[in-house]
Amino acid sequence: MSNPNLNISPQLRKNSVIIQVLTCSKSPKARLVSAQQQLEKFLPDIPVSIVMGYVASDNEVHRIYSPSLNRRLMKRPLTEAEIAIYAGHRKAMAEFLKSPYEATLILEDDFKIVTPDIIKLSVELAPELLNGTRNIVKLFDFQPKKTCKEPIYRETVKGISLVKYKSPRAGMVAYLISREGAENFLARSSVFRMVDEDIKYFWELDLDIWSIPENPVTDNSDRLGGSLVDEERQYARRQKTICRSVYGNILTIHRKFKTFLENIKYCKSKSRTSQETGTN
| All structural domains of the chain | 10-277 (3.90.550)
By three-state DSSP, how is residue 227 classified?
coil
Strand 136-138 relative to strand 48-52: parallel, antiparallel, unpaired? Answer: unpaired
| One-letter identity of residue 269 | S
* Burial class of residue 12 in the structure, from the number of CB atoms within 10 Å of its CB (0-12 exposed, 13-18 middle, 19+ buried): middle
Distance, CA of 279 to CA of 273 (rounded, Å):
8
Distance, CA of 83 to CA of 65 (rounded, Å):
7
Contact 19, 104 (CB under 8 A): yes
Q: What is the pLDDT of residue 227?
A: 65
Q: What is the pLDDT of residue 245?
A: 86
Strand 103-108 relative to strand 209-211: parallel, antiparallel, unpaired? Answer: unpaired
Q: What is the pLDDT along the chain (280 residues), one digit of tens a residue?
A: 544 433 334 444 455 999 999 999 999 999 999 999 999 999 999 999 999 999 999 999 999 999 999 999 998 889 999 999 999 999 999 999 999 999 999 999 999 999 999 999 999 999 999 988 899 999 999 876 554 567 899 999 999 999 999 999 999 999 999 999 999 999 999 999 999 999 999 999 999 999 999 899 999 988 877 666 656 666 556 566 788 889 989 999 999 999 999 999 988 887 776 666 665 5
Distance, CA of 246 to CA of 232 (rounded, Å):
22
Global confidence as pTM? 0.88
In whole angstroms, how large is the CA radius of gyration of the chain?
A: 19
| One-letter identity of residue 206 | D
Distances (CA, A) of 39 to 10, 18, 48, 92, 120: 20, 12, 8, 18, 10
Distance, CA of 116 to CA of 152 (rounded, Å):
27
Q: What is the pLDDT of residue 104?
A: 98
* Burial class of residue 188 in the structure, from the number of CB atoms within 10 Å of its CB (0-12 exposed, 13-18 middle, 19+ buried): middle
